Structure 1
Amino acid sequence: LHEFPSDIFTNEHRRHGAVLLHAFCAVYMFYALAIVCDDFFVPSLEKICERLDLSEDVAGATFMAAGSSAPELFTSVIGVFITKGDVGVGTIVGSAVFNILCIIGVCGLFAGQVVSLSSWSLLRDSLYYTCSIVALILFIYDEKVTWWESLILVLMYLIYILIMKFNSNLQRIFEKRTKNATNLVNGLASNTEMDDNSNCDATVVLLKKGNFHRKASVIMVDELLSAYPHQLSFSEAGLRIMITSHFPPRTRLSMASRMLINERQRLINSRVYTNGESEVAIKVPVKHTVENGSGPSSVADRGTNGARRDEEAAMAGNETENETDDNENNENDEEEEEEEEERRKMMALIRPLTHHVTIIGYTLGIPDVIMGITFLAAGTSVPDCMASLIVARQGMGDMAVSNSIGSNVFDILIGLGLPWSLQTLAVNYGSSIHLNSRGLIYSVGLLLASVFFTVFGVHLNKWKLDKKLGCVPFSLRNLLVFLHHDGI
């Protein structure tokens, strides 16, 4: 508490009602933080996912998780460098409990439908999350963290990103070995084939390979999403969401137009159709080049100034490309500036938020770790919860679950590892981070149990996320908080 500016109220004033003002300010900061994350910071990360063409589960486990977990990261930074207490660690641990239990429970209860989950996505994220928890338990067991231990946590997240890079290859190996690869088409024509390509357009009407002049076999978008959802990229899934009735008509019309344009471009750009035994490629007309000014020329081929029309087209194309490159560079610069500005906004909100929560806990006699694992953790996890619920209501369960578990991996490996590494390597080289609460070890150990019960429950529920499964995580979360308090 003494690390923050002095409060205008005394402890006696706060005990007689002034603490409610701090509670109001903390709730307001939670709301402002959710707005900054959802409206500014997360969309900038979504733009990155769109350009990298990530699938929905990979995007949910990496960039979406990193963006929605930004409040926990900044809270941990405040806890390490300013308060020098356990409020940041408690927030990370509490946020992990909230993410894997409460968020999955909320998605199951309020998704409005039964959502199918992919066994590969859940097992991939939960196994690596388990490894992260085990590493954290080993590192904090002696109540101090050294520089090499914090560095290992950061390196583990880089390995996690590397696994995501080769996600499709690993998934094929997993499905081949477990013999759980399912056919894309259930109840549709058995001879319909789909290219093994993650760049599947959200608008696509898939055409059957065969005689192009015959009536083509069609797979509707809804059937494609439910049968093989992980083939959609992050941007395509976003377009799919924004044409639903949850958005205003103008937005739906705009997104539908973009979907049609994308489909048109897909058909024009090097798509090959089989017609009998020959293949016909639809390509963009290529400009003709004439060396040394020679080659056939006619008046009809020349423009008004005597230049050949294909040369004019080439010059116009080059100018357009240059303008496009300039525009892209300007957009990249603007995006970087906006992202940096949003980081500053979040830091400006996190410090007073942590201050108010610390004062509330001090006034009520609640330890910093308990405040972090309950009140502060729930508030900073609001962006995670909202993001997961939105995509779960659209039937994309893999993205929702991958976001919640991926957020936990980010919280532990980067949310704790990065501030600890900066403190022990850059600020005070060779120093150690000392933890004040032995109860953290028990709470992190119980996190390990929460992962097991979550995966086991999903397996018993036949890999379906519904209301029946959604009721279980809430009771587990309350039990975890009770045991953590008893352990302290």
Structure 2
Amino acid sequence: MVRAVHLLLGFFVLFALIVTDTQCAEYNESSLLEESLNFIHQLSFDILPRAACPGTDESSPLDDFPELFTIEQLRHGWIVLHVFAAVYFFILLAIICKDYFLPTVECICEDLHLSKDVAAATFMATATSMPEFFTNTISTLILPSEMGLGTIIGSLMFNTLGVAGLAALAIDKPVQLDWWPIARDCVIYGFNTIILLVVAWGGSISFVESCIMMGFLVIYYLITFNNNKFMPAIRVFIEDKMNCCFSTRYDLTAPPENSAKAKLPLKKEPLTGNGLFVVNLPENTSSMSSTTNLTDKTWHGEYNDEQQERNRLCAYPFDESNFMKFWWIFTFPIRLLLAMIIPNPLKIRKLYPVSFIMCIVCIGGNAYMIVWMLTAFGVAIHVPTIVMGLTFLAAGSTMPEAVSSLISLRNGENGIGVSNSLGANSLAILLSLGVPWFIKNCLNYNTGEPQQVGTQGIEYNIFILLASTIALFVVLSFSGYRLTKRVGVALFSVYTVFIVLQILIEMNVFFPKDCS
């Protein structure tokens, strides 16, 4: 009996040891797995940049502007003044671009023998980038803040997809674009975006990195100004050797094959100054091309008597409709002010350099006022700061590019819009960001202190900017480089998706930061 009890106790102890060892093994395995997951999770937080914590920044966007009304006063009706002012400044910007800025760029193109797409990617892009340049210069050198970098990053998205989408929706009929300016500017802008990603990843900009950005700025101007030297060889290789993009040489808005006009012999003209190939019919027939060259327009003071009378500053439109009479009175202060401070290149051509400089000053000041008015409007209607920065402020700061592109489309310059917006994006990175950073590092050269930049989640926004450039090129490629209403809808759809993704990243939904 005693032996039986001892044997039973022995089996019980052995069973307990086996169970204990099994549980310990399972516990050790689960602990090892949990520790591994925690290590990977912590490693991702250490390596990957994080989005900002929501609610940590309690400042209002209006803190960066003069205070005319309190937020409570704005929400009790005074916001109407800001809305009216924003509309009036939009009109002012349109008149500056139409009557002064674009004619000045035309004069520059003639004297320097530049094609229109090159002028759009250089002189026009430089002028329309001045608002971002002044903003980042002030926020870097005078009032240290991250406003300049954030404004530029937010505006690049709208400038890439929004401006091209507006251009596609604004035209009356499909327009054939040349592939070369689009491909050239997309590649250059994509490369500059990668440069920005590399230098901003560490959270600081050293003297060497700022010098590199200045070097690429010089290279950008050299490439665009020497466009005609290497463009023919690349076109021959892509179009003839690879048999690609050949159809974009012509305007495909041709009549039906069985029509009488389609049976007439065609004469192919070389690439026009604005980056468009034109297909002309024989003499005494109308042109099949839906595009015209800017030099064919009366932009050099060659107006007839009726045009001169209509464009006189004080010529009241007695024979026009009531709306046109109201419009003349409504815009008279704008036209009078501009006539007093900007020499008209259509009347005094030799002063167009002065006109160009004054246009830059007026565009920069006007863009500041537009951003101010839109900021007040967004704060008054309770738009979150993150959403407002990526929508209202981004759209407001890119209005010069949008307005100049739309007006150039109306004037027949179909190739300018995309080149202007992409060129402005490249200069926003190299000029608006690079130059202030370079100056700041030069001032701090003796101390060796690098320029600090806010990078919480900004790397992902730069990745999205690169993706938006690829999306623009892909959409235009699938459309045969034709601007149509469908292309405009597609670009705005992609723009909406990317903006929502940017907002979710900024609101700590994706790649969240540990805010505990």
TM range (shorter): 0.5 to 0.7
**Overall identity of the aligned pairs, in %:** 29
- Provide, for residues 359-399 of structure 1, a one-character-per-residue CA deviation record: whole Å limited to 9, x for no partner: 66777787766533321221222232222223334554322
Q: Is 2:512 aligned against 1:453?
A: no
CA, structure 1 residues 188+390, in 2 after alignment: closer, same or farther (shift >3 Å)? Answer: farther
- Provide, for residues 202-225 of structure 1, a one-character-per-residue CA deviation record: whole Å limited to 9, x for no partner: 9x9999xxxxxxxxx649784577
Q: Is 2:441 aligned against 1:405?
A: no
Structure 1 unaligned regions, length at least 5? 208-216, 255-327
Match of 2:124 in 1: 64
Contact 2:268–2:279 under 8 Å retained in 1:
no
Secondary structure of 1:62's match?
A: helix
- Provide, for residues 227-286 of structure 1, a one-character-per-residue CA deviation record: whole Å limited to 9, x for no partner: xx8xx6xx5165489999xx99626999xxxxxxxxxxxxxxxxxxxxxxxxxxxxxxxx
Give, in angstroms, the shift of residue 41 of structure 1: 4.4
Match of 1:135 in 2: 195
Q: TM-score normalized by structure 2?
A: 0.63
Matches within 5 A, 1:23-172: 25=85, 28-172=88-232
Match of 1:374 in 2: 391
CA, structure 1 residues 143+239, in 2 after alignment: closer, same or farther (shift >3 Å)? Answer: farther
**Distance (Å, rounded) in 2 between the aligned partners of 1:166 and 1:372:** 37
Greater displacement, 112-121 / 393-402 = 393-402
**Aligned counterpart for 1:444 among listed residues 415, 437, 462:** 462
Matches within 5 A, 1:78-477: 78-178=138-238, 179=240, 180=243, 189=265, 218=283, 222-223=287-288, 236=295, 238-239=297-298, 250=307, 334-346=351-363, 348-349=365-366, 370-393=387-410, 396-426=413-443, 430-477=448-495
Give, in angstroms, the shift of residue 358 of structure 1: 5.9
Contact 2:124–2:420 under 8 Å retained in 1:
yes
Contact 1:38–1:383 under 8 Å retained in 2:
no
Secondary structure of 1:453's match?
A: helix
Across the aligned residues of Structure 1 and Structure 2, the Cα RMSD in angstroms comes to 4.4
Matched to 2:453, the amino acid is L
Greater displacement, 457-466 / 356-365 = 356-365
Contact 2:280–2:289 under 8 Å retained in 1:
no
CA, structure 1 residues 339+112, in 2 after alignment: closer, same or farther (shift >3 Å)? Answer: closer
Contact 1:72–1:415 under 8 Å retained in 2:
yes
Q: TM-score normalized by structure 1?
A: 0.66
Contact 1:80–1:88 under 8 Å retained in 2:
yes
Secondary structure of 1:142's match?
A: coil
CA, structure 1 residues 356+205, in 2 after alignment: closer, same or farther (shift >3 Å)? Answer: closer
Secondary structure of 2:415's match?
A: helix
**Distance (Å, rounded) in 2 between the aligned partners of 1:337 and 1:31:** 22
Give, in angstroms, the shift of residue 471 of structure 1: 0.6
Give, in angstroms, the shift of residue 117 of structure 1: 1.7
Contact 1:117–1:464 under 8 Å retained in 2:
yes
Secondary structure of 1:469's match?
A: helix
Structure 2 unaligned regions, length at least 5? 1-60, 252-261, 312-344, 507-516
**Distance (Å, rounded) in 1 between the aligned partners of 2:284 and 2:417:** 24
Q: How many residues align?
A: 392
**Aligned counterpart for 1:487 among listed residues 500, 505, 512:** 505
Q: Which has the higher contact order (CA 8 A, sep 6+)?
A: 1
**Distance (Å, rounded) in 2 between the aligned partners of 1:391 and 1:220:** 26
Give, in angstroms, the shift of residue 150 of structure 1: 2.8
